[in-house]
Amino acid sequence: MNIAVYGWGQMGKLLCDTIDKSKNLNLIGIIDPFSLGKDSRIIENLENISIIPDVLIDFSHFSNSDKILPWIVANNVPTLIATTGHSVDQQKKINRGAETVPILKATNTSLGISLITELLGTLVSSLEDWDIELIEKHHNKKIDAPSGTAQSLLEKINDTLTSKRELVYGRKGISPRKKEEIGVHVVRGGSIVGEHSIIFAGDDEVIEIKHEAHSKMIFVNGALKGATWLYSQKPGLYTMRDIFK
Active-site residue list: 138, 142
Query: Across-strand partners of 208?
Result: 199
Query: Across-strand partners of 80?
Result: 57, 104
The DSSP call for residue 193 is -
Q: Is 154:184 a contact under the CB 8 Å cutoff? A: yes
- Which of these, 232, 236, 231, 229, lies nearest to 100 by C-alpha position? 236
SS3 124: helix
DSSP-assigned states of every residue in 20-81: HH-SS-EEEEEE-TTSTTSSTTEESSGGG-SS--SEEEE-S-GGGHHHHHHHHHHHT--EEE
Q: What's phi and psi for 11, nearest 5 deg?
A: -70, -40
Q: State the amino acid at position 14 in one-letter form.
A: L
